């Protein structure tokens, strides 16, 4: 029985790491279902994006108050979990506060710093819970969050509150047991920690045996909660905690709003303008390539990484003029539906199930949503983790127009004019300058 806690901890750790790794590999395979896209140029700019957008959360600071609160939660949760290393080594070795002796006085400063961050995380998580459920910020109560997405955000905040509370309670019990010189607690005297010492009046009246039980319970619940949180991430919008970094690095570096031309279409236009460059009549016709995207496998891997990186914060939809004016389009919903469809397609491929007849276009995202987009780029500008709903929308609109010839009548008239007159207007090229001569005569 002496080694039972160590064996249990090793089993818990191995199970958590295995389950997380398995799900992470599934997500990686799903992302790689997308088409190739080269995004490895200008590494210096990419590292700068990673540091400013992912680590520094640059875009969040457009709203400084919220940004500071979010930064403390983000930094606090990440930094506090450095102490998981000590917990893991304690669990594996059967020792207690393994780093206390080697670090000496520095150890106390570190734990006090962790406790400060724990208190800020706890406090700001409560604030964010109130913002979501009491203040009812418009983008946080939108109908596209009904059901699981809204619950997901609350579960994460409640989990972080619980983990920080366990951390502080564990430290408070530990330091009281140190002061009583009980067992191995008395062997590593760290002194009191500032924030957890406020719990001493509440816990100081407990018996030594009860304190040990509370401290051990908090220790096990804390590490189990962290492992559970780790395995919850891949099923949650909070996967952005991990994917924001590669997504920022692989962000497209073209000027915002620049649309990519399609070489095959450019070539056809060139042939129409310079017929002498067209292939000979007997030449083999080029292999047809589907234009645009009908399903997730027609999108690029970066589009699919975007879908998994979405934080569902709604800043894109709040800035979208189509959404603001009551149209059906919500860029946030575009990303959420893309991720849902990708999970479905990935599952079919893993299990060998027959492909269904559903597609991202129409079964998940309607033509009305796609056509409401003005391509203004507001959603891309607002996204804190460099996601581009616009790129997915444009790829799907290209499929509608170029593969299905499905476009509003106004668009078809414009396309016809461009084809026949090389301009959106219904004037022949020879007559296009007549307005200037008429204007000159009038003067």
Per-residue pLDDT, averaged over 240-258, amounts to: 87
Q: Residue 137 in 3-state DSSP? A: coil
Q: What is the mean pLDDT of residues 73-97?
A: 78
Better-predicted residue by pLDDT, 216 or 441:
216
Average pLDDT for 2-16: 85
* pLDDT at residue number 183: 77
304-to-31, 298, 338, 352, 370 alpha-carbon distances in Å: 5, 10, 8, 21, 18
Bridge partners for 300 per DSSP: 35
Instruction: Read off the pLDDT of each residue in 258-264 and give the average, rounded to a whole number.
Output: 76
For residue 404, give the DSSP letter: S
Least reliable range by pLDDT among 253-267, 318-332, 343-357: 253-267
Query: Over the stretch 27-69, which tens digit does the pLDDT of each residue have?
Result: 999 999 999 988 988 999 999 999 988 888 888 888 888 888 8
Q: Which residue has the higher pLDDT, 189 or 174?
A: 174
**Three-state secondary structure along the chain?**
CCCHHHHHHHHHHHHHHHHHHHHHHHHHHHHCCCECCCCCCCHHHHHHHHHHHHHCCHHHHHCHHHHHHHHHHHHHHHHHCCHHHHHHHHHHHCCCCCCHHHHCHHHHHHHHHHHHHHHHHHHHHHHHHHHHHHHCCHHHCCHHHCCHHHHHHHHHHHHHHHHHHHHHHHHHHHHHHHHCCCHHHHHCCCCCCCCHHHHHHHHCCCCHHHHHHHHHHHHHHHHHHHHHHHHHHHHCHHHHHHHHHHHHHCCCCCCCCCCCCCHHHHHHHHHHHCHHHCCCCCCCCCCCCCCCCCCHHHCEHHHHHHHHHCCCCCHHHHHCHHHHCCCCCCHHHHHHHHHHHHHHHHHHHHHCCCCCCCCHHHHCECHHHHHHCCCCCHHHHHCCCCCCHHHHHHHHHHHHHHHCCCCCHHHHHHHHHHHHHCCCCCCCHHHCCHHHHHHHHHC
Q: What is the mean pLDDT of residues 176-191?
A: 79
Average pLDDT of the chain is 86
pLDDT tops 60 at residue 409: yes
Average pLDDT over residues 135-150: 82
pLDDT-above-70 percentage for the chain: 94
- Per domain, the residue ranges of the chain are 4-249, 263-275+294-402
From 226-240, 352-366, 406-420, the region with the lowest mean pLDDT: 406-420
- DSSP H stretches of helix in 234-284: 240-249, 263-273
Q: What is the pLDDT of residues 86-104, one digit of tens each?
A: 888 888 777 778 788 888 8
The pair phi, psi for residue 300, each rounded to 5°, is -85, 165
Task: Answer whether residue 229 shows pLDDT above 80.
Answer: yes
Whether the per-residue pLDDT at 26 is higher than 60: the answer is yes
60-64, 77-81, 166-170, 337-341: least confidently modelled range: 77-81
pLDDT over threshold 60, residue 232: yes
Write down the pLDDT at residue 83.
76
Whose CA is closest to 89, among 10, 8, 206, 199? 10
Q: Using a pLDDT cut of 90, give the percent of the chain over it.
A: 40
CA 182/CA 189 separation, integer angstroms = 11
| pLDDT score, position 213 | 93
Which of 396, 390, 382 has the alpha carbon at shortest distance from 311? 382
pLDDT over threshold 70, residue 442: no
Cα angle for residues 225, 229, 230 (degrees, 5° grid): 120
Bridge partners of 35, per DSSP, are: 300
Q: How far apart are CA 218 and CA 210, in angstroms?
A: 12
Most confident of 74-83, 161-170, 284-293: 161-170
- The predicted pLDDT at position 178 comes to 87
Give the right CATH number for 263-275+294-402 from 3.40.50, 3.30.70, 1.10.1060, 3.10.180: 1.10.1060
The residues that bridge with 416 in the sheet, in sequence order, are: none
> Which pLDDT band holds residue 359 (cuts at 50, 70, 90)?
very high
The pLDDT, as a whole number, for residue 379 is 93
Q: What would the mean pLDDT of 246-270 be, rounded to a whole number?
A: 81
């Amino acid at each position: 029985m002496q080694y039972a806690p160590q064996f249990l901890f090793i089993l818990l750790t191995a199970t958590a790491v295995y389950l997380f790794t398995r799900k992470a590999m599934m997500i990686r395979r799903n992302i790689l279902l997308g088409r190739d896209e080269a995004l490895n140029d200008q590494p210096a700019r990419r590292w700068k994006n990673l540091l400013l957008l992912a680590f520094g959360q640059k875009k969040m600071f457009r709203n400084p108050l919220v940004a500071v609160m979010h930064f403390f939660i983000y930094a606090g949760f990440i930094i506090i979990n450095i102490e998981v290393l000590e917990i893991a080594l304690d669990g594996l070795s059967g020792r207690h506060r393994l780093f206390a002796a080697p670090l000496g006085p520095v150890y106390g400063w570190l734990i006090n710093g962790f406790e400060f961050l724990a208190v800020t995380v706890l406090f700001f998580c409560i604030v964010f819970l109130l913002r979501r459920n009491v203040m009812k910020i418009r983008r946080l109560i939108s109908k596209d969050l009904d059901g699981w997405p809204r619950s997901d955000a609350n579960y994460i905040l409640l989990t972080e509150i619980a983990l920080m509370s366990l951390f502080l309670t564990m430290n408070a019990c530990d330091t009281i047991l140190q002061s009583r010189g009980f067992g191995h607690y008395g062997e590593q005297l760290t002194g009191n920690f500032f924030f957890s010492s406020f719990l001493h009046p509440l816990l100081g009246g407990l018996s030594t045996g009860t304190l040990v039980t509370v401290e051990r319970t908090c220790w096990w619940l804390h590490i189990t909660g962290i492992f559970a949180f780790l395995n919850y991430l891949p099923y949650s919008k909070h996967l952005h905690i991990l994917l924001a970094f590669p997504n920022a690095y692989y962000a497209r570096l073209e000027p915002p709003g620049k649309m990519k031309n399609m070489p095959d279409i450019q070539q056809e236009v060139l042939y129409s303008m310079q017929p002498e460059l067209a292939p000979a009549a007997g030449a083999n016709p080029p292999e047809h390539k589907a234009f645009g995207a009908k399903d997730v496998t027609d999108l690029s891997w970066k589009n699919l990484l975007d879908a998994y990186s979405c934080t569902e914060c709604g800043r894109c939809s709040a800035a979208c003029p189509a959404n603001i004016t009551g149209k059906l389009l919500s860029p946030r919903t575009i990303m959420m539906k893309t991720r849902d469809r990708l999970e479905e397609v990935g599952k079919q491929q893993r299990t060998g199930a027959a492909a269904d007849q559903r597609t991202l276009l129409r079964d998940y995202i309607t033509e009305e949503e796609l056509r409401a987009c003005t391509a203004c780029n507001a959603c891309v500008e607002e996204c804190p983790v460099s996601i581009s709903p616009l790129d997915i929308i444009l790829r799907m609109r290209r499929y509608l127009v170029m593969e299905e010839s499905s476009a509003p009548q106004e668009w078809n008239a414009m396309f016809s004019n461009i084809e026949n007159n090389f301009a959106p207007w219904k004037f022949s090229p020879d007559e296009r300058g007549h307005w200037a001569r008429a204007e000159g005569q009038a003067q």
